[in-house]
Structure 1
Amino acid sequence: MTKVRLPHELIDWIIDHLHDDRAALSACCFVCKAWLASSRYHLFKDICLNYYCDDILALPPPSMFAVAARRLTLSNKKFLPPGIEHFSSINSFYLVVLTPNADMLTRIPLLFSRITLLELNQVRFDSFAHMVQLICALPNLETLTQHICSWIHQEVDQPLAELRLPPRLHTLNVLSLRHHVFLDWFNALDPLPPLSTLRLYNVGEPHVSSMGTAIKRLGGSLQHLTLELCVQNHAGPILFPIPSRNAPLTTSVVCIDFLAGSIDLNHSVNLRSFTLIYGWPKLLHRILLTHARHTQLQHLILTIYEGEDNIPNLDLLDWRELDHFITAPSTAFRLMDFTVRVSAHDRVSFVNQEMVETRFAPLAGAAGMVKFVSEKARLLKVEKSMSMRGPVVLNSWGELVSR
């Protein structure tokens, strides 16, 4: 029998196809020596350095972890541990639950200047200026995620005037209780980086003005916009009451007018997708109707809460008006899909696809365009699928919200 020897490029392609199957990759490691490097390349692409990282860092260079790692997570550290310099080939860096000292902030840009993705997850800086200095010192940064970051000195010390965000930055994801501080500094920059994706979460009333200015200044570079309204802050009072059938009309009108007047999309002429989370249909309709110059807008997503007595807030949508809005030749919109996500407050949502199809969809002539998604089921699925498949399983907030 003649032995068939596959080209190594074909073997690499097969192993690349198994990049998310740890069991198969582990089996490939034992097939032959030629398969080992390619299998390890995917097995050890995600490395987390936390309390128990001494054994990994003590390996003599070049260790298989340092060579294969492309996404590095540093968790619960106040300084950069010895040996971390061998991971200088990574392209994504995650700082999670830590308080960096001055040495760490100085060395990170020197060791990891090539990273294109930085995620700051529950990082407590000494000051706001220190956080900005770290971000601006990474010349190749393309994606920046800030998730509940804070600083010890609460007074805002302004960063150096000459600091600028990296010129290649195109994606900004932010969840913060002090959005306006970062956005006010961002709005003062000249020029701004050409952001194509902006996702702002936990947006409350104090942040709306700064948010509106940032959207307006980004103008034609903005292609994907996600806004999550803060319906309730951590102290309890509601910032943006979501209108219901029993809510006073004046409250609904004030909220809609205030937000619709602040979110000016007239300058976002290249906007392709717009997601409004925990908003309400009339607000979305007002924003789009007031700023109807979006010839590129293709994807629209609205996440709303389920109403009282298990009655879906989908009743708040004027489906005939929505149909006319999407399909009328006089409008500039060319939507491909409009997805409605329904989220229950503390229980499983009673709204389902059958209810949408039988009760609401017949009223919309744009058949097949309006889709329903259970928000709770969607998030559970996303969290499961976004688990990092490296030696340490970790959920990345930035990748979670990008889905």
Structure 2
Amino acid sequence: MTASSNRNCGLPQELCEDILDSLWDDQEALLACSLACRVWIPTTRAHLFRFVRLHDERDCIRLQELLRLSASAATNVAGYFSELSIKFGGKSHDARSVEERMAHWIPQLLPTLQSITSLEISCADWGYDFLTEDARTCLMTFSSIITTLRLSYVTFPTTDDLTGLIHAYPRLSKLQLVHCRADPPVFEPLTLARLPSDHGMTTTQITELRASSFADMLVGLLSSPSRVSLRRLHWETPVLNAGDTLVRQILLEDCESSLEYLKLYFFHPQELIDLDLSKYPQLTTLHLCPHRMFSARKSVLCSPIPDFLSRITSVRMREIVLSVQGTFGSDTGYLEFLDWGKLDCVLASLRRRLPALVVSIQLEFSLERTADDPFSRVVGQVTERLPVALSAGLPVQVTYRDGRRSHDSANAPAYTRVAWLAFDSFPSGKHLLSA
């Protein structure tokens, strides 16, 4: 199929590309489309060769062969690569030998991947000898257009080593730290914000951060020449001491004028008490996740939520999500983790000020199975607890997920149901009590 025949079929090229984009994860369909029409080849190749995985030596050998074939055919598939995932030894019994082999391949392969914009490094020890200096240098210099960096289960000798890696990518805007760790940094918590800038690094503008590592991993980033000005923050980091509290405080202060999305896992009620939402005028989405625990402490943990929400002043606020997990032996008391009457009044007030606001309550419990549908019980009881907000027309979505899997099969998916309690644009105009 040629370009002229593509035009004769009646579909504009832009529409064809949109259709091909919708098939981004269907390898067979993309391969068929690439053979059907020459004009579609750039779009299909962009999806077929978008992701590169180097998780063992076999992946490295396959990539080397692909690059060799591409060079001989002058197809330049490397130009389509945009996402790279590198996994080192991890916890396997031969982790050291795996990391040694990966360190051998990295300087050979990565210089050919200059179109990579997203890099993921997992299960690595940045300080061990078998991750050679050549390999580390190559990881930090092979692409100058990286905008996204994901680090998971990576150990650094110090937080300065992490900071150096981050600042090696001048266009970096999205950073994810999952279970990364380093030796405790030597710093005085009360002077963290005033540490001198002596790194000599280029400025990096981080606009999106997911942190689920210890807070000390962010010390070097916050005290370096560039300040973090976030639009999106996913905070899953426990606040264990005064130093952690200060790191969190500085991070949130730096993004008061820019933050639009906040997903906050909190481990102590004081974390909500200390955070004033009135300082975030650009906030559009707030997702609260109290740390998973048994019912005995959940009421204490969640008690500040109504007052916390009452401090919202952003006229841009569109969505509030509350995700709660718990384990209960009976079906009584599982919703008594906060003052629903107070929450009802706060949500009704927000509804009057923010007519576009939508609230989502996501519950994951392990309840006793009875003859009636647990989903109906949950929906009914949440409805009873929010009469003022619902009568004000606030759209409230309830998601219930049974934390226990089916007894029939250990691999069966967990029971999950969704319902809208109020949704003014729904054709019937009624409050819904079922999905």
State the TM bucket, normalised to the shorter chain: 0.7 to 0.9
Structure 2 matches for 1:184-203, cutoff 5 A?
184-189=219-224, 192-203=227-238
1:302 aligns with 2:322: yes
Match of 1:372 among 398, 401, 407: 398
Give CA-to-partner distance per residue, 1:297-318, whole Å, 9 cap, x none. 2211112223532346323344
State the distance in 2 between where 1:292 and 1:91 align.
36
1:359 aligns with 2:363: no
Find the structure with the greater CA-based Rg.
Answer: 2
Does structure 1 retain, via aligned residues, the 8 Å contact 2:237–2:265? yes
Deviation of residue 376 (structure 1)?
7.0
1:78 aligns with 2:85: no
Structure 2 matches for 1:24-39, cutoff 5 A?
24-39=29-44
State the distance in 1 between where 2:277 and 2:224 align.
20
Does structure 1 retain, via aligned residues, the 8 Å contact 2:197–2:223? no
Deviation of residue 146 (structure 1)?
0.8
Deviation of residue 115 (structure 1)?
1.0
Match of 1:95 among 113, 118, 121: 121
Give CA-to-partner distance per residue, 1:326-355, whole Å, 9 cap, x none. 22389855561121112237999x995422
Give CA-to-partner distance per residue, 1:188-233, whole Å, 9 cap, x none. 4566232111111142332334213321232111111111134xxx
RCO comparison, higher one (Cα < 8 Å, 6+): 1
Instruction: Indicate the residue corresponding to 2:295 in structure 1.
Output: none
Change over 3 Å in CA distance of 1:356–1:335 after alignment to 2: farther
Q: Secondary structure at the match of 1:310?
A: coil
State the distance in 1 between where 2:347 and 2:61 align.
58
The answer for unaligned runs of 5 or more in structure 2 is: 89-101, 188-194, 292-300, 404-411, 414-435
Instruction: Indicate the residue corresponding to 1:392 in structure 2.
Output: none
Instruction: Indicate the residue corresponding to 1:145 in structure 2.
Output: 176
Structure 2 matches for 1:206-285, cutoff 5 A?
206=241, 207-230=244-267, 240=268, 256=269, 258-278=270-290, 280-285=301-306
State the distance in 2 between where 1:271 and 1:117 align.
22
Change over 3 Å in CA distance of 1:351–1:210 after alignment to 2: farther
State the distance in 2 between where 1:341 and 1:351 align.
17
Q: Secondary structure at the match of 2:252?
A: helix
Does structure 1 retain, via aligned residues, the 8 Å contact 2:203–2:225? no
Change over 3 Å in CA distance of 1:103–1:283 after alignment to 2: farther
Q: Secondary structure at the match of 1:193?
A: coil
The residue type equivalent to 1:86 in the other structure is T
State the distance in 2 between where 1:225 and 1:275 align.
6
Structure 2 matches for 1:301-320, cutoff 5 A?
301-306=321-326, 308=328, 309-311=330-332, 313-320=334-341
The residue type equivalent to 1:261 in the other structure is I
Q: Secondary structure at the match of 2:344?
A: helix
Match of 2:343 among 314, 322, 331: 322
The residue type equivalent to 2:319 in the other structure is H
State the distance in 1 between where 2:112 and 2:43 align.
20
Does structure 1 retain, via aligned residues, the 8 Å contact 2:6–2:37? no
Q: Secondary structure at the match of 2:320?
A: strand
Deviation of residue 174 (structure 1)?
0.9
Deviation of residue 128 (structure 1)?
1.7
The answer for unaligned runs of 5 or more in structure 1 is: 231-239, 241-255, 382-403
Does structure 2 retain, via aligned residues, the 8 Å contact 1:200–1:228? yes
Match of 2:359 among 305, 315, 338: 338
State the distance in 1 between where 2:350 and 2:180 align.
46
Match of 2:51 among 13, 34, 46: 46
Deviation larger for 99-108 or 294-303: 99-108
Instruction: Indicate the residue corresponding to 1:21 in structure 2.
Output: 26
Match of 1:9 among 3, 13, 16: 13
Change over 3 Å in CA distance of 1:148–1:313 after alignment to 2: same
Give CA-to-partner distance per residue, 1:151-203, whole Å, 9 cap, x none. 3x555589963456844321011111x21x13444444566232111111142
Q: Secondary structure at the match of 1:302?
A: strand
- RMSD over aligned CA atoms reads 3.5
Deviation of residue 17 (structure 1)?
3.1
Does structure 2 retain, via aligned residues, the 8 Å contact 1:144–1:169? yes
State the distance in 1 between where 2:200 and 2:112 align.
29
Q: Secondary structure at the match of 2:152?
A: strand
Does structure 2 retain, via aligned residues, the 8 Å contact 1:215–1:264? no
Identity %: 19
Deviation of residue 93 (structure 1)?
0.9
Deviation of residue 147 (structure 1)?
0.9
Say how many residue pairs are matched: 348
State the distance in 2 between where 1:165 and 1:307 align.
48
Deviation larger for 291-300 or 60-69: 60-69
Deviation of residue 144 (structure 1)?
0.6
Instruction: Indicate the residue corresponding to 2:422 in structure 1.
Output: none
Instruction: Indicate the residue corresponding to 1:236 in structure 2.
Output: none
The residue type equivalent to 1:148 in the other structure is H
Does structure 1 retain, via aligned residues, the 8 Å contact 2:235–2:263? yes
State the distance in 1 between where 2:84 and 2:350 align.
50
State the distance in 1 between where 2:13 and 2:325 align.
50
Does structure 2 retain, via aligned residues, the 8 Å contact 1:186–1:214? no
